[in-house]
A and B are shown apart, each in its own frame.
Chain A
Amino acid sequence: MDRNNMENIVDTSGCLSMEELTAYHKDQLDNDKAHLVEQHLVDCEMCSDTLEMIAEHGSEKINHINDKVAKRVDLSTERKHEQNWINMAAAVVLLITVGGGYVYLNSSTDGAAMAEIKQEQPVEIIFGETIPVESVTTNEETPIKVIHRIEERLILQVATIDADDNIEYYDSTINEINIDEPNELAIVNTIEPFVMDSVVEKVSIIGSSSINAPVRKKRRTKGGYAYGAEDNGNAVAYFPGGDKELKNYLTAVAKKMTKLKGEVEVIFDLDTNGKIGRSKVKKSTNKDLNEFAIKILDEMPKWNPATKNGKSIGSRQKLIMIF
């Protein structure tokens, strides 16, 4: 028996690369190398599966998915770097629609669009996304374009975050929206230019409500919105203290409950007293978070109910919790 070859039985080497597997599949390797590949395949179910897939679908297809995933991984590692501020707070970005208003939150994992943002003017933001703005300076008007699926006219809330992570909120109205194809990504008209009066580092669209709700004037606020019956006794339901408080509240609660990460979209009903009634999880990226999301809703304090003509009415709310 050949002693030299005997050692191969106990050799468990590292996994094979895509190139090696492809070359093996195409029979481009010389005998020695091919044999090494086969030795590894005996031990490694993962590589065997990969080879099987290459044989079945061709290496191009696997490479294609490979590239896409690589980009997404790059993006998520980079973005998590950049947005440490948001992670540290276990940020809860929220989105509320009222009275049939419906906003589709674009998957924030869509990286391709993000990567292109920096070069383009005006700035394009995917809904719910936060992007750095390169050169927004004091008192400069910055048009912001929003891409997302919508079925109604919307008021958008724009938040700017300056170098010290101070968040300022702005409202802005979209004038016209193409709703012919609500299932397509609609490029929404540029929202009214608004003035930012501090040096801004990041811009994020963090919330919206439907146009059926009273139009809140574009203004800069500190400590949340002056919610309530501003317009003919009509008002949207809101968490005591406004969206900012809601965000703080959710952040604090979520942080206490779990270290898991993910997004959960919940719908719940508010009665005329602002008490949370039925609730359910609509979408979730991590099943384990569902119970936490419902628990958070159960324990949440009363909201201020929506009003119509001065009377309290029940409403349905949608909320996206990002853990």
Chain B
Amino acid sequence: MLFFNRKRNFEQLSDVDLVQLYKEKDDLEIVGFLFKRHQHLVISIAFKYSKNEAKAEDAAMEVFEILTNDLKHTEVTNFKGWLFSVVKNHCLKQIRKDNREGKMIDQFTYFMENEDEIDLSNKTINEARLDELENCIGELKDEQRICIELFYLKKMRYKEMEVETGFSFKEIKSHIQNGKRKLGILLSKDGQK
């Protein structure tokens, strides 16, 4: 039965589980499945960098090759983050190769802003924690606090927020991101007290 259900089993597994399974079984089907799950993301990023369909396609395949090799001996706890950096590095390498003067590099440096992934998820949420969170939100800068409150607590859409706050789309996004990061820092400080 196990044989018949193999494909379905893959679907239920998380990225990290699949990586672990690949390490054990060394089966390309596993890494193929894992890659396909994120394939459209990889392609889009490659397309964004290379601005060329064929190059994006090749870059995606090269990233797949990298996965088949590197996943065997890399400790991956955050697959998405790891994959993003692999794709990004590969594309940058490609651009440097195509454009020796490095003129184009500058416009891509903004990618670095979101380098470290905000990960609050491992912090268990209970009532006490929520109180803390509430206090911490109060400590944020006004624009961050407003955006976080509107977005998460009032469940507003970006479009509505643009009207409500007068911020642009990009500003809203950056306020929410920075606000979240700040919250993470504040929460871990409180946790140490």
Contacts and interface: CB of A to CB of B under 8 A. Distances in A.
B152 A70 contact: no
B180 A69 contact: no
Given A9-B120, A38-B151, A50 B69 contact: no
A62 B183 contact: no
Interface string A51-68: 011100100011111101
Contact of B61 (A5, A53, A64, A69): A69
B120 A10 contact: yes
A57 to B, nearest CB: 7
A65 B123 contact: no
A196 to B, nearest CB: 30
A48 to B, nearest CB: 8
Secondary structure dominating the interface of A? helix
Contact of B32 (A5, A34, A64, A73): A73
Contacts of A50: 40-41, 44-45
Contact of A1 (B35, B40, B83, B134): B134
Contact of B153 (A2, A12, A81): A2
A46 B43 contact: no
Contacts of A69: 39, 43, 57, 60-61, 64
Interface size class of B (residues with CB under 8 A): 35 or more
B80 A53 contact: no
Interface string B52-81: 010011001110110011000000000010
Nearest to B33: A77
B125 interface: yes
Contact of B48 (A7, A31, A43, A52): A52
A44 interface: yes
B159 to A, nearest CB: 9
B120 to A, nearest CB: 4
Contacts of B118: 12, 43
A66 to B, nearest CB: 5
A31 B9 CA distance: 32
Contacts of A80: 28
Interface string A5-36: 11111111001011001000000000110110
Nearest to B114: A45
Contacts of A262: 65
Given A11-B121, A50-B41, A5 B48 contact: no
A104 B143 CA distance: 61
Interface size class of A (residues with CB under 8 A): 35 or more
A49 B177 contact: no
Nearest to A13: B121
B23 interface: no
Given A18-B40, A46-B84, A65-B53, A76 B152 contact: no
Contact of A77 (B28, B69, B176): B28
A6 B153 contact: yes
A274 to B, nearest CB: 35
Given A73-B35, A76-B28, A77-B28, 13 more contacts: A10-B121, A15-B38, A31-B157, A38-B158, A42-B176, A46-B38, A46-B80, A46-B87, A54-B44, A66-B39, A69-B61, A261-B68, A285-B62
Interface of A: 1-3, 5-12, 15, 17-18, 21, 31-32, 34-35, 38-39, 41-47, 49-50, 52-54, 57, 61-66, 68-70, 72-74, 76-77, 80-81, 109, 259-262, 285-286
9 contacts: A6-B153, A10-B125, A35-B157, A45-B84, A49-B48, A64-B53, A73-B35, A259-B69, A261-B69
